[in-house]
Structure 1
Amino acid sequence: MSVPAVSFEFFPPKSLQGSFRLWESVRALAPLAPEWVSVTYGAGGSTRKLTREAVAAIGGEFGLRTAGHLTCVDASREETLEVAEGFRAAGVTDIVALRGDPPEGADAFRPHPDGFRDSVELVGALADRGFRVRVGAYPDPHPEARSADADVAWLKRKIDAGACEAVTQFFFDPEVFLRFRDRCAAAGIAAPIVPGLLPVENWGKTRSFAARCGAVIPDDLAIAFDVAERDGRADLFAVAQAAELADRLVEEGCGHLHFYTLNRPDLTRDVCAALGRVPAAPLSAVA
């Protein structure tokens, strides 16, 4: 079995303790030579400055190709593109473009009167300015999607607008991803679709997060996680489950896997080790 390429998602710190956690997470995973890493963007741009600072620091200190997340929530076009140009000024030309979740307290996304109406418009504007744009994709239907086919059609619009690659929301059933990939190919989507994996660091929080974003947890897997938690084997089972899922995806031709690290690198590092992705240099050699 070939060893897959990997990429990692981090989120910006909101405290001194969070800064240490982010830095240690990047330090732990950088030796695995990821294709790129990304830093998320808070709801309504709440971490705008922190995200820019984090992507600049990670790229400068570790020499990693770094992408900043960018949404079009609660911001005008001018404000949104100003953030993008801030990334460029920091040496970052890769952007993960997302519509973004509604601000806290809002029941639905509503475009800013002077803002981008949706992620397709945002992708087009960024691509026109020479950014390398990645977008989200949803193997399990997005909570707002009318159907699974609607998710495929929306992804095609984003790719046609200039996105070079898609990264999926996390999922737990490999068949869900493989069927989604087949539907995308049938729809004429030729851009790479990278499966997103979430090693389960906290089972309770993962269940809640999955419910909000529409990621389906198979019943037998939920039972197995409950048993593993009861028996004190949660981390061991989480690594085994994620490694088994990743292994199946690689067998089916996925040459690149994206990991949602939650700034807790241990499980992700263990899954990568199980796949044969070993450090390219000793950890001590990484700045």
Structure 2
Amino acid sequence: MKLSDILNSADKPLFSCEFFPPRTDKGEENLWSCLKELQAINPAYISVTYGAGGTTQDRTKGIVSRIKDKTGLSPVAHLTCVGASKTQLGELLAEYKAAGINNILALRGDAPEGMNSFEAVAGGFSYATDLIAFLREQGDFSIACATYPEGHPESKGGVADDIRYLKMKQDNGADCAITQYFFDNDTFFRFRDQCDAAGITLPIIPGIMPVGNFEQIVRFSSMCGAVIPAWLHEKMTPIQHDLDAVKALGIELAAKQCRELLEADAPGLHIYTLNKSEATIAIHQQIKDLL
């Protein structure tokens, strides 16, 4: 089902999930096991990433096609500007179209490993805004984009820049935006109010990262610019080496965060699963009365 149709027909907030393509066959077996378990909660859509430089692009194509054909769930394929010319992107989109994949999450993408900054290849795109405009020209795709309530880590103008870029993404054809994960809901609420004032009307869906390994989340956050509040450090640091305790607290805190967001009229929630189903299902169980 097209993402735009899912958004337009929803009479309740959406609940969706993100996976990354594993690099090994064993990891892929685990992915399908997780997806099978998640079918019980019927997520509105499943997004699938691919690595810097398109390093898992073939696995991404295979996974989104199999999700569509075998699970009944609606897949969303990530697409970035990294390492691909306009011609190559057009060829990939033609393959997706032929396979019946019509949902794309358009991103600029991170610089490949070993590069200090992003550089477009010859004939490629430098910005997600341009990729979105190109996608809109290529056919009947439904387009999601990313946004950063705490500001993109490379942004010199902070949140104000991100709001300006989000307005451009909307004007170029994006149907919705999914946020980078955050832990302070007030940050999201402020960002949403500022977007409203800037004329941004597309649904802005909060991204949620349940903490299952605190050291890992600290590492992720240092790379993507997500802020870990002092209160979360205080709760997690004493138990960080007890993974069962961290996981239980992470689910409790994420469910509380999700409930508050939904009660404040968030249009949905997008869970970064890290290819694990337990936390996502547990969170859904605690908030399903709002979905």
TM-score (norm 1): 0.93
- d(CA) in 2 for partners of 1:81, 1:181: 33
- d(CA) in 2 for partners of 1:82, 1:191: 28
Task: Name the residue aligned to 2:265.
Answer: 253
The structure-2 alpha-carbon separation of the partners of 1:277 and 1:11, relative to structure 1 and needing over 3 Å to count, comes to farther
- d(CA) in 2 for partners of 1:116, 1:249: 34
1:25-104 equivalent positions in 2, closer than 5 A: 25-104=34-113
Task: Name the residue aligned to 2:144.
Answer: 134
1:116-265 equivalent positions in 2, closer than 5 A: 116-129=125-138, 130-146=140-156, 147-229=158-240, 233-265=245-277
Deviation (angstroms), 1:277: 6.3
Task: Name the residue aligned to 2:281.
Answer: 269
Task: Name the residue aligned to 2:21.
Answer: 12
- d(CA) in 2 for partners of 1:37, 1:235: 22
**What letter matches 1:209 in structure 2?**
F
* Cα shift readout 1:241-287 (whole Å, capped 9, x = no counterpart): 101110110111113110011101101110111102699xxxxxxxx
What SS does structure 2 have at the residue aligned with 1:160? helix
Deviation (angstroms), 1:80: 1.4
Matched-pair contact (CA < 8 Å) for 1:3–1:276: no
Deviation (angstroms), 1:47: 1.0
Q: Superposition RMSD on alpha carbons, in Å?
A: 1.7
Matched-pair contact (CA < 8 Å) for 1:59–1:65: yes
**What letter matches 1:244 in structure 2?**
K
- d(CA) in 2 for partners of 1:196, 1:104: 25
- d(CA) in 2 for partners of 1:230, 1:262: 19
TM-score (norm 2): 0.92
Deviation (angstroms), 1:86: 1.5
- d(CA) in 2 for partners of 1:254, 1:260: 17
- d(CA) in 2 for partners of 1:114, 1:3: 42
**What letter matches 1:265 in structure 2?**
S
- For structure 1, which runs of at least 5 residues remain unmatched after alignment? 280-287
**What letter matches 2:288 in structure 1?**
G
- d(CA) in 2 for partners of 1:200, 1:46: 26
Q: Percent identical across equivalent pairs?
A: 38
